[in-house]
Each structure stands twice: as structure tokens, then as C-alpha cells.
Amino acid sequence: MASVKDLVTDAQVKAMHSVVESAAGKFVCFSRLATDDIWVLGATDGCDVWRQDLDLEELDAQRDLAEVGSLDAFLAKLRSVQTLVPVICKSTRKMKNKYALSA
């Protein structure tokens, strides 16, 4: 089976960032590869940070919750940054950001 690094690199979601405006407000969404086995999805509204560290098993669990047939299709869906905020905020713990961005 492919590694997390291979999957997110092939899907072109290894290091994304974008500003997303939704009914809930404005968010900076980002992703990064922490290690070869951990991919990080995050979002901040300038005060709070939502972050999820995903290994292959957790990534597959999120894919299953989203009712998407394959990991490739799930990652392609995430490439549309508009879907990042609900995915991140729904399944992560809320943490206070020490270095808040200005909203």
C-alpha cells in the first residue's frame, strides 16, 4: 500500500493554503506533510486553530465518513479548499492559537 506521503504528493494536496470565506466567517486553511506517515490539515479563524494529524488509517476513516469510494477521490475532493473547513472543524479538537492571525 502507498504511504501517506505518496498519496498526498500524487493528489497535489501535500502543501496547500488558502483563505476561505463561508457563512461561519473567514478561515485560513492549510495542509502540510509532517512526516512520511503524517499529513496535517488545519484551519484558523485568527483566534482559534483546528488541526488534524492524519496517518493512513485516520485518512481512510475520514474518507469513509465522507462516503467517498477511494482515497484518491477523497484527496481530489479536498483539493477544492471549500471542503476543508467542514472536514477539519468537524473532526478535530479545538486548540487556542498562541500566535493569532489578524482577521
| pTM, to two decimals | 0.72
Reading the block at residue 17, the C-alpha cell is: 493554503
Amino acid at 99: Y
pLDDT for position 93 = 41
Cα 33 to the center of its chain, rounded Å: 11
pLDDT for position 84 = 57
- The residues facing 32 across adjacent strands are 40
Reading the block at residue 70, the C-alpha cell is: 477511494
pLDDT for position 88 = 54
**pLDDT tens, residue order, the chain (103 aa):** 689 999 999 988 888 888 888 787 888 888 999 988 999 988 898 999 989 999 999 999 999 998 999 999 999 888 875 555 555 555 444 433 333 333 3
Which residues are CB-neighbours of 89 under 8 A, at least 6 positions away? 43, 50
